[in-house]
């Protein structure tokens, strides 16, 4: 089945994504550094810095992978849980704790962000790093995120974006296709493993449209913070309700 066919329906995409991340989990950290030219950690730290973490805040990091954002949130004082559908990713996140390379207070579980195993209003903060682009049903995922956020709770998401200008967009997608195919071929003998980034981005509505969806679903102040000149984006959105006081001395979202 071609990559295009594998992403053509929500069920097919869910199956493909599960298999894909199971395959690449072992090399995920290395590849993320290489494909982002070492910038990925700084983008994640920027997202975590915008989270206005209060000590003891309940945080949920969706599609947590090997746990970078989860660990950042714990270091900033949150009680954070990382959730990911790929059990190998969760194993790798836990192994960082066991090896003493990450804070032990982080909790991890295997789960699907389309059907979160938490009650309504369970979290002050929900984050997702490269998560929204991978779900089979974006609207359903946003509804789940809103459901588990407490009134006044904050949602932050980092992901690729499609630049609005046609020339830049075509060039960017071509670049991601070529580089992704080469890396996939060299590392996994399958160009589609990383060509998936460009292909999923083609199907992604774009950061501004996602901000519109957040507003439609009752989030307030949904906005897009461009990263890397708009090639990437961070979404910031809040659930209506009383906003918890930020920690003393904290700067507002950049």
Task: Give the chain's radius of gyration (CA, Å).
Answer: 17
Query: Contact region for ligand SAM (CB under 6 A) — 96-104, 107-115, 163-171, 186-194?
Result: 107-115
Does 131 participate in binding ligand SAM (rule CB under 6 A)?
yes
Which residue's CB is nearer to ligand SAM, number 91 or number 112? Answer: 112
Closest residue to ligand SAM using C-beta atoms: 65
65 lines the binding site for ligand SAM (CB under 6 A): yes
Inter-CA distances, 123 with 35, 104, 119, 133, Å: 32, 20, 9, 22
Task: Indicate the residue among 38 and 165 with the shorter CB distance to ligand SAM.
Answer: 38
Question: Residues near 149 by Cβ (< 8 Å), separated by ≥ 6?
Answer: 121, 123, 124, 125, 126, 155, 239
Selected binder of ligand SAM within 16, 108, 130, 155 (CB under 6 A): 130
- Per CB under 6 A, 21 contacts ligand SAM: yes
Least spacing, CB of residue 199 vs ligand SAM, in Å: 14
Residue 64 binds ligand SAM (CB under 6 A): yes
Residue bearing tokens 């901000």: 211
**Which letter, b or e, does each residue of 178-204 get, where b requires 16 or more Cβ atoms within 10 Å of its Cβ?**
ebbbebbeebbeebbbbbbbbbbbeeb
User: Taking CB under 6 A as the criterion, which residues in 83-102 touch ligand SAM?
Assistant: 84-86, 89
Distance CA 172, CA 37 (A): 15
**Residue 156 found at the interface with ligand SAM (CB under 6 A):** no
Binder of ligand SAM out of 91, 112, 143, 190 (CB under 6 A): 112
For residue 141, which of 118, 115, 160 has the smallest C-alpha distance? Answer: 115
What's the min distance (Å) between Cβ of 70 and ligand SAM?
8
Does residue 204 touch ligand SAM according to CB under 6 A?
no
- Binding of ligand SAM at residue 243 (CB under 6 A)? no
* Contact present, 82 and 90 (Cβ < 8 Å): yes
Q: Does 17 bind ligand SAM (CB under 6 A)?
A: yes
Residue 246 region, left (φ>0) first, then alpha (ψ -120 to 50), else beta?
beta
Question: For ligand SAM, which stretch binds (CB under 6 A), given 50-58, 112-120, 213-221, 240-248?
Answer: 112-120
| Distance separating alpha carbons of residues 1 and 154, to the nearest angstrom | 39
Closest residue by Cα to residue 159 from 243, 230, 79: 230
Distance in Å, CB of 224 to ligand SAM, minimum:
18
Q: Rounded to whole angstroms, how far apart are CA atoms 198 and 77? A: 35
Q: Whole-number minimum distance, CB 176 to ligand SAM, in Å? A: 13
Query: Of how many residues is the chain composed?
Result: 254
Binding residues for ligand SAM (CB under 6 A): 17, 21, 32, 63-65, 68-69, 84-86, 89, 112-114, 129-131, 134-135
């Amino acid at each position: 089945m071609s990559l295009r066919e594998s992403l053509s329906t929500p069920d097919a995409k869910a199956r493909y994504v599960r298999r894909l991340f199971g395959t690449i989990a072992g090399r995920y950290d290395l590849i993320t550094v290489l494909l982002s030219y070492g910038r990925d950690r700084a983008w994640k730290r920027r997202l975590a810095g915008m989270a206005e973490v209060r000590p003891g805040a309940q945080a949920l990091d969706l599609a947590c992978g090997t746990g970078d954002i989860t660990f950042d949130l714990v270091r900033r004082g949150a009680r954070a849980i990382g959730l990911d559908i790929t059990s190998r990713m969760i194993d790798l996140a836990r192994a960082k704790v066991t090896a003493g390379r990450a804070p032990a207070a982080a909790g991890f579980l295997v789960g699907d962000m389309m059907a979160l195993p938490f009650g309504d209003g369970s979290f002050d903060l929900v984050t997702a790093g490269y998560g929204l682009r991978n779900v089979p049903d974006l609207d359903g995922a946003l509804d789940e995120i809103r459901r588990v956020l407490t009134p006044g709770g904050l949602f932050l998401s980092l992901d690729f974006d499609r630049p609005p200008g046609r020339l830049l967009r075509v060039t960017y997608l071509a670049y991601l296709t070529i580089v992704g195919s080469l890396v996939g071929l060299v590392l996994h003998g399958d160009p589609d493993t990383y060509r998936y980034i460009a292909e999923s981005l083609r199907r992604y509505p774009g950061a501004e449209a996602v901000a519109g969806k957040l507003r439609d679903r009752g989030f307030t102040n949904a906005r897009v913070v461009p990263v890397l000149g708009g090639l990437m984006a961070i979404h910031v959105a809040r659930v209506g309700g009383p906003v918890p006081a930020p920690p003393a001395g904290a700067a507002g979202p950049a």
